[in-house]
Amino acid sequence: MLATLWLISLSFPTLRAQPLISCPYKNLCQWPLLSGNDIVLKCDLPRALWYFSSILGEDLFLINSMHNIKNLPSGSLQLTNPQPSQSGLYRCQDKHSILMVEYEIDFQDVSTLHITHKALDQQTLQNETLRLGGEVLVFTQWEPWQNCNRCGVPGERKRLGYCYIEEPQEKPMPCGLYLRDEKPPHTRLRPEIQVEACLVPCGPAKELEQSYFIFDIYQLGKLTNNAWLDCPLSSVYR
């Protein structure tokens, strides 16, 4: 029996329940994402070649043997259960080495997620000024609130926030992309999710479509008689 713990989020349009990440042609786009959650990096070039370089500054190498990465027929790149160590630069190009699109991805560690509920007066992470070489501002950049998960009765909605760092007079960057190989031991450097109560009227009947992200997965053995699964402010599926 497989028990999978999910938290509901509405951060991205989905492709078969996998967030589809896109970027304009020949551009470089930076994205903070949660580790452990499947994604698809869009590249509209069949048989595209994908290259990767980690945030540690390694040379680009052709992606052809990474166990959790798959080149799709459309040219896009599918990452299954990506880990923080897979943060870095993903480049799509053709066989003549012509650039199609580039992504800098910061897979922020889902195991460090800070969870709060507004009705319980729990506080979100506050902005902090840290000394990381010089003074920088660490803050949360929030995604839009998702839709209420129920209608006609009290429900909940959630929003996801990513860790960002900003230097004076500079554009903010996702924390992992800013820090690169530095790992300062500070609890502020993590993503968060906020939950609040909601009550909305019911409209015309339609299927509720919400994207989600995985918080954790547990494999229960056949001989397990009972188990306690703790998943605060989220849902458990099997």
Query: What is d(CA 25, CA 36) in angstroms, rounded to the nearest whole number?
Result: 27
**118 in the same domain as 98:** no
Choose the final residue of a domain: 52, 76, 108.
Answer: 108
Residue 56 has pLDDT above 60, yes or no: yes
Burial code of 113-128, b = ≥16 C-beta within 10 A, e = fewer?
A: bbbbbeeeeeeebeee
- Kindly state whether residue 88 falls inside one of the protein's structural domains: yes
**91 in the same domain as 118:** no
**140 in the same domain as 104:** no
Three-class DSSP category at 176:
helix
| 120-136 average pLDDT score | 92
Is-contact 189 127, C-beta < 8 A? no
Task: Dump pLDDT digits (tens) for 180-231.
Answer: 888 888 899 999 999 999 999 998 765 555 555 555 554 555 555 555 555 5
Return the pLDDT at 5: 38
Query: Worst-scoring range by mean pLDDT, 63-72, 141-150, 154-163?
Result: 63-72
User: Across the chain, what does the average pLDDT equal?
Assistant: 84
- The share of the chain scoring above pLDDT 70, in percent, equals 79
